[in-house]
Amino acid sequence: MIARWYETFDPLFEDFNRLRSELDRLFDIALPLSNIRSVPRGTFPAVNLHDGKDAVTVQVYIPGVSADKVELTVQNNTLSISGERDTQRCDDKEITPERYHRRERFSGSFTRVISLPEGIDQDKINAVCKDGILTITIAKREEQKPKQIAVKAA
């Protein structure tokens, strides 16, 4: 049998492919960010934070979580969101955890910790949950609000 020229390089290509897959795996561990996300895929709950003129607004997306199962704490400009999501509830008695073929929503407890901007007033916090969106509004301290300065003509 005549060996093809590329068969002699197969072990070398296997080593390169193994090296490439190991590097891909390493970068997936070190940089688990995808596209424009600021947290790894699958982080729950998703959060938007807006730093406005008078207040900081945090929107927390918690579909399927009842408001009484959510706990919020603020300490040292850090917001901690904890809760529990139960996806076991189902009206259909035929669906049991043992019979799932695929299950992509987790059930159980979760915690998310977010750093808040400086200058918030921890005594002026309001939280409202509607349609699976928890909106937390935290007022800024007066000294942190921007001051309007009038410019006079000389």
Q: How many CB atoms lie within 10 A of CB 21?
A: 10
Classify residue 57: in a domain, yes or no: yes
Q: Give this prediction's pTM.
A: 0.64
Classify residue 119: in a domain, yes or no: yes
The domain total for the chain is 2
Q: Report the alpha-carbon angle 122-135-77, nearest 5.
A: 30
Classify residue 96: in a domain, yes or no: yes
- For tokens 């919020």, name the residue: 72
Q: Which domain holds residue 13?
A: 1-31
> What CATH number has the domain bearing residue 134?
2.60.40.790
Q: How many CB atoms lie within 10 A of CB 65?
A: 20
Domain identity same for 27 and 49: no
- pLDDT tens, residue by residue, 64-114: 888 999 999 999 889 999 998 876 655 556 556 566 677 777 778 889 999
- What token pair was written down for 16? 């390169």
Domain identity same for 53 and 26: no
- pLDDT tens, residue by residue, 37-64: 556 666 788 899 999 889 999 999 998 8
Domain identity same for 9 and 73: no
Domain identity same for 68 and 15: no
Domain identity same for 27 and 47: no
Q: What CA–CA distance (Å, rounded) separates 129 from 119?
A: 24
Contact between residue 61 and residue 133 where contact means Cβ atoms under 8 Å apart: yes
Domain identity same for 74 and 134: yes
Domain identity same for 14 and 47: no
